[in-house]
Structure 1
Amino acid sequence: GKEFDSSPDVCGWVDITPWPPACETGKEWSAEHCQCVAIPATIPKKGANFCELFERYVNINPSDSTCNGSSVDTSTTEFSDLTPDIILRNGIRLYNLHQDPAIISQLQIIGIDTETAEKDTNQKGYIIYADVDGSKGNSVLWEDVYPFYITLSGRVIPAYDRGANPDGSGGDSKEHLSVSIKNETFSAEGHRIFRWLSRSVSFKEGACQSGFVSENTQYCVGMAYNQACNSVNSNCELKPIKPLKFF
């Protein structure tokens, strides 16, 4: 037999095997919703496949090392002797695209266990490194090499490091990647209403305020979610300020 209560904050089952309940193809069990929900679409979950897909969509400088470059870990700071996975036609070198995805520590929800984080496509993904001036510079982290997070859900998030890069030329710099938050709502009569919640702020500030990145992550420490984005019929969007400035 079974006992089930789907009221808010309650999800109780008794004598059910397997647990969690099996779901039909294309769906997975959600403890939050207490039911099977559609599995969200993701980018490839194998590094080799992700790199090959990336290669098909960008204008590259072909080489024998394409998608077979050096492995990079979070302690790497010197890139001059490393082999990139992809070299773009404009000379930008991209590293670490072929490595399999993992939980991104800066995007992991604080207090969430690893098993739960593994299933969240916004907490897991790739860390790629872009050498923005290619062979012309020193290829040093935070000097001309910048990391980006690409989540399995497809979000691209510029990293930052207050300790190693206190002057701020990553995601915490409004001088390099400035964004604004636009909120669209509807009046009782059905009219669209636009409002700018923030203008010309750093990507970090805009992403955390708009909910693009959860406020409960290390990435958003010191930032708070703007509750206006959580109101009825609210739709907050992150808008990059053009032209973008590339370091």
Structure 2
Amino acid sequence: MLNFTKTVVCCLAVVALSSVSEAGEAIAYRLSKTKEMHFDDGRKAEQHLAAVKKLGCEARMDSHGGHTDVIYRSAKWQVMEVANDKLVHQWEDWLKKAGFETVHGHAADHGSGHDAHDGHDLSGHDHAGHSHEGHSHSPGKAEEVSYVMQNWKTIHSQDATQMSELVALMKGLGCEVRTEDHGGHKDVSVRCPQWKHVEVASHEAAAGWQDWLRKNGFETRHEH
């Protein structure tokens, strides 16, 4: 992970310049609980600090006892848009190793046989309305939740933070997203005309996804 971190800051600068129309894939990420990562190499600690700050995290360093701690969190869902699926998976691996939850929707023909992606679990997910605390998420037991929304659905809200998180999650799921500000509120229009799926770590997590997706207008299927 640390070797990849060396390129993160530069890559993030490029990602930030990419427009929505140019980006081919997206990944949503969140780190709701403060993460503390230890480094014996101060230079690597600085690189990691710069990387998580570029990702929009609250972050700081604390040096003591001959090592450096990088302390960071990203309490709200954010999104990164990149050129292709390969880059998404590289970022997803890095984000998970750095402690983040992730959401990335796969096309229906995406290769199967992956191990469970812990970052896709909805444990503690504010939007799911379903608690997964204490459930088992054993590796190698991934389940798929498939979803589709053929027609555009428009969601209205005056809560800018809530809508920003919704946009991040919808983009992470691979949906088409349009936003419009007017009349003192924000409209978000969403559709997902082709079947996609997320991989989750347990049956309980899959149930949480289905519940959240259906409440937001999706048709869903759950594949064991």
Give the TM-score band, short-chain normalised: under 0.3
Q: Which has the higher helix share?
A: 2
Q: Which has the higher contact order (CA 8 A, sep 6+)?
A: 2
Q: TM-score, normalising length from structure 1?
A: 0.25
